[in-house]
């Protein structure tokens, strides 16, 4: 399997700069042993969030009709749990697959678990990159077009955390040409089920993943605080409090509160929804977007 790196993968210096502002973005947790911690979390049956977003993916993949050979760019594939669904939805004799992740370990795990499906893809490329770094996604999208086809489809599934960074969806919009598409699945908020939604982030496996970032920043003793919901910006937030009383934001995950709110957020970032599907049973959204005409 071919693998390349695009841009710079942020290291300890960048982590400490973020820490000064009181946060450890989760992207610092995924590399190295973090890839295995994600695996443990994704395999936990009580990680209901992953299951909800996966159901939304299955429910909506068949709505994406690709008339031309397309580069399918899977952003943050994790351990590849979505690979079987993606491979049965698209004909990879015709389309090309690009897997993009910040974590080398994650890519290795995915290749190891899904070797057989990946071997049946005619063209695949794995790219190690930080998608929250300006210009990187546009560079990846241009590279895909140079290497393979003239249309791109971005798959952004189970990425509430990435979408809580307002810059990320702007980078997505900036990377799309007129005929390109972005498909997003995301768990939403539901006032009636808020407790259950927030509970997921209190799982021991989530905390073990976040501890990777805290250790990397040399943060020692302390405790995680119960996950909160920030109504102003529609996101779940999880803090760690050190023994000296310092509060560090370790996780924030965007949760649209309605179709309308999701649509407004997409529009503000430069994306125009072709459809938004809401699945009430699992309070998840799926949308297929294009770049707004006025961007």
Ligand X SMILES: C[S@@+](CC[C@H](N)C(=O)[O-])C[C@H]1O[C@@H](n2cnc3c(N)ncnc32)[C@H](O)[C@@H]1O
Contact window for ligand X (CB under 6 A) among 11-19, 63-71, 78-86, 231-239: 78-86
Binding mask 160-199 for ligand X (x = CB under 6 A): -xx-------------------------------------
**In the chain, alpha helices (H):** 12-20, 33-42, 48-61, 83-89, 104-113, 115-119, 136-147, 160-163, 166-175, 194-199, 204-216, 259-269
Are the C-beta atoms of 5 and 129 separated by less than 8 Å?
yes
**In 9-90, alpha helices (H):** 12-20, 33-42, 48-61, 83-89
Q: How far is the CB of 87 from ligand X (least distance, A)?
A: 15
- One residue of 56, 61, 96, 101 binding ligand X per CB under 6 A: 101
Contact window for ligand X (CB under 6 A) among 114-122, 124-132, 170-178, 209-217: 124-132
Q: From CA 222, how far away is CA 243, in angstroms rounded? A: 5
Is 103 a binding residue for ligand X by CB under 6 A? The answer is yes
The interface with ligand X within residues 51-70 (CB under 6 A) comprises: 53
Are the C-beta atoms of 82 and 74 separated by less than 8 Å?
yes
Contact partners, residue 243, CB within 8 Å, separation at least 6: 220, 221, 222
Is 99 a binding residue for ligand X by CB under 6 A? The answer is no
Q: How far from each other are the two terminal CA atoms of the chain, in whole angstroms?
A: 36
- One residue of 76, 188, 256, 270 binding ligand X per CB under 6 A: 76
Q: How far is the CB of 44 from ligand X (least distance, A)?
A: 12
The interface with ligand X within residues 25-54 (CB under 6 A) comprises: 27, 30, 42, 50, 53
Distance of CA 124 to the CA centre of its chain: 19
| Interface with ligand X (CB under 6 A) | 27, 30, 42, 50, 53, 76-78, 81-82, 101-103, 106, 130-132, 157-158, 161-162
């Amino acid at each position: 399997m071919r693998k390349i790196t695009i841009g710079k993968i942020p290291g300890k210096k960048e982590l400490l700069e973020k820490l000064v502002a009181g946060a450890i973005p989760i992207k610092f947790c995924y590399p190295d042993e973090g890839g295995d911690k994600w695996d443990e979390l994704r395999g936990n049956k009580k990680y209901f969030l992953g299951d909800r977003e996966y159901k939304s993916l299955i429910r909506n993949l068949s709505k994406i009709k690709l008339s031309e050979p397309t580069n399918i760019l899977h952003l943050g594939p994790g351990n590849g749990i979505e690979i079987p669904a993606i491979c049965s939805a698209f004909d990879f004799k015709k389309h090309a697959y690009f897997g993009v992740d910040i974590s080398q370990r994650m890519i290795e795990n995915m290749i190891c678990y899904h070797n057989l499906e990946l071997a049946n893809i005619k063209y695949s490329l794995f790219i190690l990159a930080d998608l929250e770094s300006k210009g990187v996604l546009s560079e990846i999208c241009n590279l895909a077009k140079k290497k393979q086809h003239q249309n791109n489809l971005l798959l952004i599934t189970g990425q509430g955390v990435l979408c809580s960074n307002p810059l990320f969806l702007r980078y997505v919009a900036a990377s799309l040409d007129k005929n390109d598409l972005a498909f997003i699945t995301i768990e939403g908020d539901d006032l009636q089920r808020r407790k259950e939604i927030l509970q997921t982030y209190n799982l021991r496996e989530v905390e073990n993943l976040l501890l990777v970032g805290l250790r990397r920043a040399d943060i020692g003793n302390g405790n995680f605080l119960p996950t909160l919901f920030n109504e102003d910006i529609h996101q779940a937030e999880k803090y760690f409090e050190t023994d000296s009383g310092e509060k560090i934001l370790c996780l924030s995950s965007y949760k649209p509160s309605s179709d309308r709110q999701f649509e407004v957020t997409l529009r503000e970032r430069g994306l125009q929804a072709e459809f938004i599907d809401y699945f009430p049973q699992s309070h998840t959204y799926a949308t297929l977007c294009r770049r707004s005409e006025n961007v």
